[in-house]
Amino acid sequence: MTNDTTKGQGIARGLTNYGDPAFSRYLRRSFASSMGYSREMLDRPIVGIAHAASGFNNCHRHFPEMIEAVKRGVLASGGLPVEFPTISLGEVFLTPTSLKFRNLMSMDVEEMVRAQPMDSVVLLGGCDKTVPAQLMGAISAGLPAIQLVAGPMSTGRHKEHRLGACTDCRRFWQQFRAGEIDQQEIDTVERKLASTAGTCAVMGTASTMASLTEAMGMMPAMGAGIPAVSADRLRMAEDTGRIAMGLIGSDLTPARIMTEQAIENAVTVLLALGGSTNAVLHLAAIAGRAGLPLDLRRLNELSDRTPVLVDLKPTGDYYMEDLHYAGGIPAVMRELRDLLHLDARTITGETIGDRIEAAEDWVDRRVIRPASDPIRETGGLVALYGNLAPNGAILKRSAADPKLFEKEARVIVFSSLEDLSQRIDDPDLDVTADDMLVLQNAGPTSGAAMPEAGYLPIPKKLARQGIKDMVRISDARMSGTAYGTIVLHVSPDAASGGPIGLLRSGDRVRLSVKDRSIEVLVGAEELAARREGHTPQRATAERGYAKLYAEEILQAERGCDFGFLVGTPVQTAGD
Ligand code: FES
């Protein structure tokens, strides 16, 4: 073994620069020895384990056990596993919203994978933004990588109800707001909603992104849905460690797995799942890192031919653990086989077509419907365009009320989240069930940084009359666990000068899902005049990450990535 390499494998990879490579290697081995490693261990190839465990992330509380299992797999295959923490994004613990920090986490993952000596990497995440951040960072880092996820929470019980975060959180909250249940009962429900480690139990953003990661081939078959608390989850972790060892020296970098075909497969699966609208943003960002576009008009084409097959909350009856036991993503993909790129490669070496062939025959048809008898004939999401959203908007039609799909109505406009919270429950608010609600200045360039606020509450006085849904329009996002006739991601957003910022209460808007359109019925001259006197409220910041965010954030159709992060992956230091 020589002492002068600047490249090579394992601990010798990407040396710290002291101007003397031999000294650098000697010093690194010496310091690594202080951790108690034997010489034999330090000569092994290294599998990094980039994990997002944190006391501020309930979904990841079982990660220590999972990390041990990954290490077993690596050690059994002759490698040295080395875990390292990255930023963690616990969905409900971050202000103003976790999306603001997804790109920061992706930069952390990218730079630490590139800067530290490892030959392949296991990405261990789960909560909503963590998996997209890890995939984005791994594409840019260019090192062979495999994704392992937390797995879903198991469901709890309240009286006769099965409970899963967080669709049932919203259902009970809505009942509380409508006066149907009292404070004591909502307090009881609060304690029971999230009862195990793991990610939200429904087809929210975390479950959707786990499913799409499997569909793109970045994890083994059945990897998305194993419950967090199952022993199978630990076996999957062990297996992941083994596979990560097999990736060392291969050409299976993330950009070679997450190709245009793989991303299109993911979009098709997303549509069939009735998955989270957030996934559209994340897939656009992932595609952007690989130098690929995610065209919303193409999403509409795929949506027109893709049936909704999976009956999970928030749109259906079941939970993520049920999808797993019903046959999982391979069973869903088998139903979609005529719509998929079957020759797309996966991290385990087989193609998507091979995985479909190997899928178990038995499928629980209550949860995964056959393509011949779908839940809906067309996909769960649709992109809308028009003078209100020149660059597009998203509607989750599978979670919406079809009676509201073709509608022209008066709008009630809230200029910000603060305005919304101050006025929405005002008994004197001039609003009827026939109106549309509009929220401005909650998009990516606003100070709110695109929170999941698109699920505007039904005004209390209407909720108490039994109104459950209204058309709601915003430049914000919506939690994957929410439902309703909700137009999201309107682009350009209000704070960057988009037309949604010119709307005024009393204007009329026409929504047509059939025509994929969203139009404000105000003359061009009047809109131009309003623009003259209008100053968009784009957020600014003096320093730090907030400044970087304010200056670099892209619009929704570009995945809200930073402009300077988009593009072709670079090679790692050791290559
Ligand atoms: Fe982590 Fe829902 S809060 S996945």
Average pLDDT for residues 317-330, to the nearest whole number? Answer: 97
What is the predicted pLDDT for the residue at 110? Answer: 98
Q: What pLDDT is recorded for position 227?
A: 98
pLDDT at 400 over 60: yes
CB 206 near ligand 1, within 6 Å: yes
Cα–Cα dist 444/285, whole Å: 14
Q: What is the pLDDT of residues 414-441, one digit of tens each?
A: 999 999 999 999 999 999 999 999 999 9
Of 114-118, 170-174, 457-461, the range with the lowest mean pLDDT is 170-174
- pTM across the whole model: 0.96
Give pLDDT, residue 7.
Answer: 59
Mean pLDDT over 35-62 rounds to 97
Please provide the CATH number assigned to the domain covering 5-154+196-358.
Answer: 3.40.50.2300
Mean pLDDT of the chain: 95
Report the phi/psi class of residue 159: left, alpha or beta, with left for phi > 0 and alpha for psi in -120 to 50.
left
| Alpha helices (H) in 178-295, listed in sequence order | 183-192, 205-215, 231-247, 254-257, 260-273, 278-289
Q: How far is the centre of ligand 1, averaged over its atoms, from the C-alpha of 126 (Å)?
A: 8
Average pLDDT over residues 326-336: 98
The pLDDT value given to residue 102: 98
- Torsion of the alpha carbons at 293, 298, 300 and 304, rounded to the nearest 10: -140
Would you state the pLDDT for residue 6? 36
Protein residue whose Cα sits closest to atom 1 of ligand 1: 127
Report which residue type is found at 229.
V
Q: Which of 155, 200, 202, 209 is the best mutation target for the ligand 1 pocket, counting ligand atoms within 8 Å of the beta carbon and taking the most? A: 200
SS (H, E, C) 460-501: HHHHCCCCCCCCEEECCCCCCCCCCCEEEEEECCHHHCCHHH
200 lines ligand 1 (CB under 6 A): yes
Best of 54, 56, 59, 130 to mutate for ligand 1, by most ligand atoms within 8 A of CB? 59
Asked if pLDDT for residue 3 goes beyond 50, the answer is: no
Q: Ligand 1 within 6 A of 201 CB? A: no
Q: What pLDDT was estimated at residue 569? A: 61
Which pLDDT value is given to residue 571?
A: 52
| 409 CA distance to ligand 1 middle (Å) | 35
pLDDT score recorded for residue 575: 44
Q: Is 193 a pocket residue for ligand 1 (Cβ < 6 Å)?
A: no
Cβ of 128 closer than 6 Å to ligand 1, yes or no, is yes
Mean pLDDT along residues 283-287: 98
Q: In this predicted structure, what is the pLDDT of residue 90?
A: 97
The whole-angstrom separation of Cα 88 and Cα 85 is 8
Model pLDDT, residue 481: 81
CA of 526 to the centre of ligand 1 (A): 44
> Does pLDDT of 480 surpass 90?
no
Residues 6+ apart with CB under 8 A from 295: none
d(CA 11, CA 24): 11
Ligand 1, residues 61, 124, 128: which to mutate, most atoms within 8 A of Cβ?
A: 128
Give yes or no for residue 143 CB within 6 A of ligand 1. no
384-543: CATH topology: Glucose Oxidase; domain 1 (3.50.30)
Domain borders along the chain are: 5-154+196-358, 156-192, 384-543
Residue 568 pLDDT more than 80?
Answer: no
Q: How far is the CA of 128 from the centre of ligand 1 (A)?
A: 6
